[in-house]
Amino acid sequence: MSVDIAPERPVAEAVAPATGGRYDFSVTVVIPAYNEAPRVAATVAGVRAAVPEAEIIVVDDASRDGTGDEARRAGATVIRRPHNNGGPGAPIKRGIRSASGDVVVIIDCDGQHDPNDIPRLLAFMGEYDMVIAARPGRGSHENMRRYLGNLLLNKLGSYLIEMEMKDLTSGLRAMRRDVMMDFIHLLPNGFSWAMTSAMAFAKAGYTVRFEPMTMQKRQGGQSTQKLMKNGMKFGVIILRMVSLFAPLRLYTPVGLAMFALGMISWLLNMFVLAPQRGLYIPNSAIMLFIGAIVVFLYGLQAESIAALRFKGPER
């Protein structure tokens, strides 16, 4: 697997945007919004000032406070989803499908992301296929529980992809639309769209960069993400990541552990519990040996299926 993930640089080491804000590619900025009427117009205006040439799409995720009207008055193209809000994944996918730009930028309008950081992301898009704004430390996270949950997911993602993943859950990012369209069917409708998209790019051999950027606390509205509070959903996210990207990275250690337990059971029986029976293998050891083989073969099959999901770059 050929993956190029750039090393983290100091936050102060900002990159100057392209001269005159002109790029060799067209840009669409997608803003998912749910009940963000007090903030969406300012976000649209900030994006327009930072990237004047960009197409701006606000996906109104069934808001009840006039978010879509405010965005339309601010000059954005508004797409309204009639369904109830269930996380940002669904509106983001709708926005990406509707985008006309070669590069799509995702930004929230809850005050956490600064539109002036968009040119810093776009400055790397000639070299990278996805650029993610990485929060450099605890201060840029909403709270300690969110920080610890994200840290766990980053560690798991790094283990599965075998590359360092700095901030998988960051919502501020730029990506090549044509590549994203190859993986868009893998993205869930909820909050794990961010980590799924980043890991899909890396797994398929596309280049991903994590660019350090300071983010603010949420300025208004109420987050529907309960990462650590909803333990069951958090567990499902982890299992989904394992199943999608590297099943053998989980099943191999489990299979080896079962085999080791089987060996311990056999040796205990041979030398401690029933030495008079010689090389007799107890039922517990037999079951563990069989289980280890089944788990490993299942993981091997799952790994083969997972590999079929990712088509690498042809360039």
Q: Which of 36-45, 75-84, 136-145 has the highest mean pLDDT?
A: 36-45
> Which pLDDT score, from 0 to 100, does residue 159 have?
83
d(CA 75, CA 284): 69
pLDDT over 50 (residue 56): yes
Q: What is the reported pLDDT for 19?
A: 35
Show the tokens assigned to 33: 């919004």
* pLDDT of res. 13: 38
Amino acid at residue number 63: S
For position 311, what pLDDT does the model report? 63
Q: Is the dihedral of CA 138, 144, 148, 149 positive or negative?
A: negative
Closest CA relative to residue 181, chosen from 281, 102, 288: 102
Q: How far is CA 183 from CA 68, 152, 178, in A?
A: 28, 24, 9
- Phi/psi of residue 142, each to 5°? -65, -45
Q: How far apart are CA 23 and CA 311, in angstroms?
A: 27
**Token representation of residue 15:** 């990159």
Please determine, for residue 67, whether its predicted confidence score (pLDDT) is greater than 50. Answer: yes
**Taking 70 as the threshold, does the pLDDT of residue 1 lie above it?**
no
User: What are the pLDDT digits (tens) for 199-236?
Assistant: 889 888 899 999 999 877 665 555 555 544 555 566 67
DSSP-based three-state secondary structure for 39? helix
pLDDT confidence tier of residue 20, bands split at 50, 70 and 90: very low
Which letter does DSSP use for residue 270 in this model?
I
E strands, the chain, in order: 5-6, 27-33, 55-61, 77-81, 103-106, 130-134, 173-176, 208-212
pLDDT above 70: percentage of residues in the chain? 82
